[in-house]
C-alpha cells in the first residue's frame, strides 16, 4: 500500500530476503517493520500541505464572504456600481449604506482586517501550492495517484465506480493503495483547474497587477466579470469541500483522518505479506 | 518509534539555520531597496510586505490600464462624502479661486499653487478606472497635471521617500511612495469627462492614483508634503487607512 517509492523498494528487498531464505521466520517481523509495511498512504508533504490548504482556504472563505457583504451586487464586463444594472444581487443586507438592499439596516464594516487576512491567506495558499505542485511533479505523486490510470479513461469506468458508490460497496484492494477514479478526478479538478482559476480571477481584480498584465482582466471580459467568476469559483470550491468531507465521513472518518494526519492507513491488512501478492 | 538519525538532525539544524539567516538577510535587503510598506508590523505584516515587495519589483513602472472613450461610464458613482464644512463652502462660493495647494517638506522651494497655477502646467488626460475596495468600479476621463511635474517644479530633494497628501477634510490623509508619486499617471486632477471635476467626485482637486484602489485617490487635496521619514506622520503607519484597519498599499 505504500504511496512512496522508497517504501516499495524496501518492501521488495524484504520480499527478496524472505524468498532467498526459506527459513526466514515470517513471524519475527518487528513492530517497526510492520508499521513500515502497512506504511504510508499519504506522504508527509501531502499531509502538511493539505492541512495548510485547509487553514488558508477557510480563512479565505470567511474573509471573502465578509468582503462581499460590502457590495452584494454582481456585474458582467469591466465596470459596475449602484448606478448600473447588476447581473444579480444577493438577498442579504450590506455593510455600506450606499448599496440599496431593501433591508432597513447596515451591517458592521469588517473589510479592513478581512482584506488583510484574505491576501495573507492567499499568500500562504500560493506558497503551499508551489511546494505541493513542484513536489507532486518531481516525486511522481500526481502521475501515480492523481492522474487516472490509462485503462480508466472511459465513461464506463466512471459509471462502474459511481454504481459501486450507489450500491455502497466497500473500497476494493487497489483503493487501499491509492485514490479511486472519482477521487482522482475531483482532486485533479480542484488542484489544476479551480485553484488556478481562483488565483487568476483574484489577480485580475488587482489594479496594480493588471497594470503589468492587462490581459489578466481583459481575457475574462473585464474586472467585474473577474469578480463574478471569483465568486462562483468560491462556491464550486465550497461544494467540493462539502462533498469531500461527506465522502470522508461515509468512508470512515476516523481511519481516513488518521491516515491524513499520521500518514499511515488506519486499518492494516490482516497479513501484510499476502496483501502485496 | 521512528528514531531520528543523527544525520537527519544535523541536516534539519543546518536547514533551519540557513532558513533563519536567509529571512534576516531578505529583510535587510527588502528594507534597503524600499520593499517594506509602512504598515509592515503586526500579524498581517508578512502578507502586506510580500504583496508590496512583489508589486514594487513587478510594477514600479508599468502604465495604468487605459480604456477607449466608448467605455467611459454614463452614470459614474461618486460615493459618499462628508457634508462640506464652512471653509469648503466659502471656497466653493468663490468659484475655488482661492483654493491653494501647498507643497512643502523635503523640497527645495516650498510653494503654494492656485488652481490657475496648476492649469498653466502641462495638462494630461487619461481614461482610467476607479475601483473601490468594496467591489464596484467606473471608468472616466481624468484631466490634470502630473504630480511628478509639480514635485520637480518645487525641487523635490533626493532623500524624499514618500509623498504625503492631505484633504481639506480634517483627519483625511494619504501617502504614496516615490515610484507612484513620480509615475506619469499619478495626476493632480481638475477635470473629468471634458468638464470641471464635480465636487462629489473630488473637485476642485483630487489626486488620482489609478494603479491603486479608489481610497488612495484622495478628494479635495490642499497640501502635499514630501518626506524622508513616514514614521513622523500620524501613528507612523503611512496613512490614515491602517489606523482604521485598512492596508496602506492599495494596489493589492
Ligand atoms: C474539514 C476539511 C477537510 C478534511 C477533513 C479533509 C480530509 C481529507 C482526507 C482524509 C484526504 C485523504 C482522502 C483519502 O485518503 O481517500 C484528503 C485529500 C485531499 N483533500 Fe482534503 N480535507 C478537508 C479540506 C480540504 C480542502 C479545503 C481542500 C481544498 C480545497 C482539500 C483538498 C484535498 C485534496 C486535493 C486531496 C488529495 C491530496 C493529494 O493526495 O494530493 N481538502 N482530504
Splitting chain B (252 residues) into consecutive groups of 10 residues, what average pLDDT does each group show? 66 83 81 89 94 94 95 94 90 96 97 97 97 97 98 96 96 96 97 95 96 97 97 95 94 94
Question: What is the value of ipTM here, to two decimals?
Answer: 0.90
How many Å separate Cα B51 from the centre of its chain?
15
Q: What is the largest CA-CA distance in chain B?
A: 84
Q: What is the largest CA-CA distance in chain A?
A: 85
State the Cα–Cα distance between residues A240 and A175, nearest whole angstrom.
Answer: 20
Q: Which residues contact A198 (CB under 8 A, 6 or more apart)?
A: A230, A233, A234, A237
State the Cα–Cα distance between residues A221 and A239, nearest whole angstrom.
Answer: 25
Which residue from A minimizes the CA distance to B249? A208
Three-state SS string across B70-87, please?
Answer: HHCCCCCCCCCCCCCCHH
Buried b (16+ CB within 10 A) or exposed e, A44-68: ebbbebeebbeebbebbbebbebbb
Which residue from B minimizes the CA distance to A214? B65
Strands B195-196 and B187-192 turn out to be antiparallel
Q: Which residues contact A109 (CB under 8 A, 6 or more apart)?
A: A70, A95, A96
Residue of A50, A148, A199, A252 to test ligand 1 pocket, by largest number of atoms within 8 Å of CB = A50
Domain at A5-262, CATH class: mainly alpha
- Interchain pair B71, A112: CB under 8 A: no
State the Cα–Cα distance between residues B76 and B82, nearest whole angstrom.
Answer: 18
Of B219, B218, B214, the closest CA to residue B198 belongs to B219
Neighbours of A162 (CB within 10 A): 12
Strands B111-114 and B124-131 turn out to be unpaired
Which residues is B161 bridged to in the sheet? none
Helix (H) or strand (E) holding A89: strand A88-89
User: In the prediction, which pLDDT does A176 show?
Assistant: 76
CB burial class (10 A; 0-12, 13-18, 19+) of residue A42? buried
**Which atom in ligand 1 lies closest to the alpha carbon of residue A136?**
41
User: In the prediction, which pLDDT does B3 show?
Assistant: 53
Chain A hits for B244, Cβ within 8 Å:
112
Chain A hits for B252, Cβ within 8 Å:
119, 205-209
Taking the CA of residue B137 and the nearest CA in chain A, the distance in Å comes to 5
Cell numbers 511546494 correspond to A131
> Chain B residues with CB-CB distance to A under 8 A?
1-2, 44, 46-48, 50-51, 55, 58-59, 62-65, 67, 71, 73, 75-77, 79-80, 129, 131-139, 210-213, 241, 244-247, 250-252
State the Cα–Cα distance between residues A35 and A96, nearest whole angstrom.
Answer: 57
Taking the CA of residue B141 and the nearest CA in chain A, the distance in Å comes to 14
Tell me chain A's radius of gyration from C-alpha atoms: 24
Q: How far is the CA of A12 from the centre of ligand 1 (A)?
A: 30
**Nearest CA owner, ligand 1 atom 28:** A54
- Interchain pair B136, A123: CB under 8 A: no
| Regions in chain A scoring below 50 on pLDDT | 1-37, 269-277
Taking the CA of residue A69 and the nearest CA in chain B, the distance in Å comes to 9
- For ligand 1, which residues put their CB under 6 angstroms from it? A 41, 46, 50, 53-54, 57, 145, 179, 183, 187, 190-191, 237, 240-241, 244-245, 248, 256-257, 259-260
**Euclidean distance between the first and final Cα of chain A, in Å?**
11
Q: Which of B47, B80, B129 sits opposite A116 (nearest CB)?
A: B47
- Interchain pair B47, A80: CB under 8 A: no
User: What is the reported pTM?
Assistant: 0.87
The answer to whether the beta carbons of residues A56 and A124 sit under 8 Å apart is yes
Q: How far is the CA of A49 from the centre of ligand 1 (A)?
A: 10
Taking the CA of residue B109 and the nearest CA in chain A, the distance in Å comes to 32
State the Cα–Cα distance between residues B49 and B37, nearest whole angstrom.
Answer: 6
**Could you tell me where the DSSP H helices lie in A95-173?**
111-139, 141, 155-166
Of the residues A65, A109, A116, A201, the best mutation for testing chain B's interface (the one with the most B CB atoms within 10 Å of its CB) is A116
User: In the prediction, which pLDDT does B58 show?
Assistant: 92
CATH classification code of B69-244: 3.90.420.10
DSSP state of A178: S
User: In the prediction, which pLDDT does B246 show?
Assistant: 95
- Interchain pair B246, A35: CB under 8 A: no
Of the residues B40, B135, B180, B238, the best mutation for testing chain A's interface (the one with the most A CB atoms within 10 Å of its CB) is B135
Amino acid at each position: 500500500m505504500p504511496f512512496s517509492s522508497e517504501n516499495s523498494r524496501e518492501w521488495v528487498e524484504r520480499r527478496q530476503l524472505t524468498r532467498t531464505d526459506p527459513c526466514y521466520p515470517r513471524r519475527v517481523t518487528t513492530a517497526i517493520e510492520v508499521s513500515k509495511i502497512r506504511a504510508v498512504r499519504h506522504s508527509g508533504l501531502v499531509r502538511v500541505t493539505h492541512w495548510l490548504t485547509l487553514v488558508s482556504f477557510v480563512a479565505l472563505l470567511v474573509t471573502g464572504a465578509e468582503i462581499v457583504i460590502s457590495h452584494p451586487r454582481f456585474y458582467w464586463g469591466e465596470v459596475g456600481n449602484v448606478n448600473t444594472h447588476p447581473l444579480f444581487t444577493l438577498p442579504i443586507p450590506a455593510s455600506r449604506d450606499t448599496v440599496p438592499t431593501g433591508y432597513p439596516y447596515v451591517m458592521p464594516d469588517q473589510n479592513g482586517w478581512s482584506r488583510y487576512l484574505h491576501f495573507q491567506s492567499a499568500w500562504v495558499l500560493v506558497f503551499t501550492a508551489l511546494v505541493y505542485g513542484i513536489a507532486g511533479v518531481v516525486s511522481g505523486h500526481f502521475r501515480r495517484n492523481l492522474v487516472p490510470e490509462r485503462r480508466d479513461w472511459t465513461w464506463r469506468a466512471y459509471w462502474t465506480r459511481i454504481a459501486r458508490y450507489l450500491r455502497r460497496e466497500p473500497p476494493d484492494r487497489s483503493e487501499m493503495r491509492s485514490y479511486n477514479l472519482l477521487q482522482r478526478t475531483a482532486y485533479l479538478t480542484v488542484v489544476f483547474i479551480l485553484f488556478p482559476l481562483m488565483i487568476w480571477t483574484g489577480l485580475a481584480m488587482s489594479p496594480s497587477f493588471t497594470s503589468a498584465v492587462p490581459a489578466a482582466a481583459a481575457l475574462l471580459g473585464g474586472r467585474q466579470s473577474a469578480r463574478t467568476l471569483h465568486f462562483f469559483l468560491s462556491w464550486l470550491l465550497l461544494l467540493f469541500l462539502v462533498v469531500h468531507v461527506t465522502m470522508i465521513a461515509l468512508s470512515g472518518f476516523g481511519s481516513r483522518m488518521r491516515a491524513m494526519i499520521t500518514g499511515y492507513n488506519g486499518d492494516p491488512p490482516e497479513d501484510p505479506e499476502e496483501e502485496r501478492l | 518509534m521512528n528514531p531520528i538519525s543523527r544525520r537527519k538532525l544535523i541536516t534539519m539544524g543546518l536547514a533551519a539555520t540557513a532558513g533563519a539567516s536567509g529571512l534576516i538577510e531578505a529583510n535587510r535587503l527588502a528594507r534597503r531597496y524600499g520593499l517594506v510598506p509602512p504598515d509592515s508590523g503586526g500579524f498581517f505584516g508578512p502578507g502586506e510586505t510580500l504583496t508590496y515587495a512583489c508589486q514594487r519589483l513587478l510594477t514600479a513602472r508599468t502604465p495604468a490600464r487605459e480604456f477607449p472613450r466608448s467605455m467611459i461610464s454614463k452614470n459614474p458613482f461618486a460615493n459618499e462624502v462628508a457634508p462640506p464644512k464652512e471653509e469648503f463652502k466659502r471656497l466653493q462660493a468663490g468659484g475655488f479661486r482661492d483654493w491653494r495647494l501647498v507643497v512643502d517638506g523635503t523640497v527645495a522651494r516650498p510653494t503654494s499653487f492656485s488652481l490657475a497655477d496648476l492649469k498653466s502646467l502641462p495638462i494630461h488626460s487619461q481614461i482610467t478606472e476607479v475601483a473601490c475596495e468594496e467591489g464596484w468600479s467606473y471608468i472616466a476621463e481624468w484631466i490634470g497635471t502630473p504630480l511628478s511635474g509639480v514635485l520637480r517644479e518645487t525641487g523635490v530633494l533626493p532623500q524624499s521617500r514618500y509623498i504625503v497628501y492631505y484633504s481639506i477634510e480634517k483627519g483625511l490623509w494619504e501617502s504614496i511612495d516615490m515610484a507612484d508619486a513620480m509615475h506619469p499617471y499619478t495626476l493632480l486632477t481638475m477635470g473629468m469627462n471634458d468638464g470641471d471635476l464635480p465636487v462629489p467626485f473630488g473637485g476642485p482637486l483630487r489626486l488620482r492614483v489609478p494603479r491603486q484602489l479608489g481610497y488612495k485617490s484622495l478628494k479635495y487635496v490642499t497640501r502635499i508634503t514630501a518626506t524622508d521619514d513616514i514614521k513622523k506622520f500620524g501613528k507612523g503607519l503611512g496613512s490614515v487607512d491602517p489606523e482604521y484597519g485598512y492596508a496602506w498599499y492599495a494596489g493589492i
